[in-house]
């Protein structure tokens, strides 16, 4: 069955004919659609804000592997961490990625805040 459509691209109207190759034929006139029911979104528990260190990061600071947004910081200054322990969550391209400790030690500096946008190579955390 051949169907005709009028489309507008950059203010110019075109008449297009398309052949329907299967599927269920749809009515020509649009039918009213019922409004979707309100969906309640779950509330995300807010973590206590972590204060970033005011001193600049040294060359030994753990850096961001990719651009993204810091969603959650899971450690505080002075905490002891083990190698591969999750330190923070970095959201990149709608995926949550764990940033883990590259060595065991003590957190001596946190150089980002929750909600901050980072670029690859930006200092995140210093572990000594």
Query: If you write DSSP's letter for every residue of 39-98 in order, what string do you get?
Result: -PPPPPPPPPPPPPPSSPP-TTSEE-SSSEEEEEE---TT-EE-TT-EEEEEEETTEEEE
Give per-residue pLDDT as tens, 47-74: 445 454 445 667 778 999 999 999 999 9
Residue with tokens 């269920």: 24
Most confident of the following: 1-10, 45-54, 75-84:
75-84
Q: What is the mean pLDDT of residues 80-92?
A: 93
Give the model's pLDDT for residue 104: 94
Mean pLDDT of the chain: 80
Pick the CATH number of 62-127 from 2.60.40.10, 3.40.50.720, 2.40.50.100, 2.30.42.10: 2.40.50.100
Give the model's pLDDT for residue 54: 44
3-class secondary structure, 83: coil
Instruction: Look up the pTM and report it.
Output: 0.56
Give per-residue pLDDT as tens, 109-119: 999 999 999 99
Give the model's pLDDT for residue 24: 57
Q: Where are the domains of the chain?
A: 62-127
């Amino acid at each position: 069955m051949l169907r005709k459509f009028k489309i507008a691209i950059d203010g110019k109207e075109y008449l297009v004919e398309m052949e329907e190759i299967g599927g269920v034929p749809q009515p020509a006139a649009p039918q009213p659609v019922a409004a979707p029911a309100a969906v309640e979104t779950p509330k995300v528990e807010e973590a206590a804000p972590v204060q970033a260190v005011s001193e600049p990061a040294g060359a030994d600071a753990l850096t961001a592997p990719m651009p993204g947004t810091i969603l959650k910081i899971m450690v505080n200054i002075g905490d002891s961490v083990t190698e591969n322990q999750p330190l923070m969550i970095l959201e990149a391209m709608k995926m949550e990625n764990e940033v883990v400790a590259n060595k065991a030690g003590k957190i001596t500096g946190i150089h980002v805040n929750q909600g901050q946008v980072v670029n690859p190579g930006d200092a995140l955390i210093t572990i000594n």
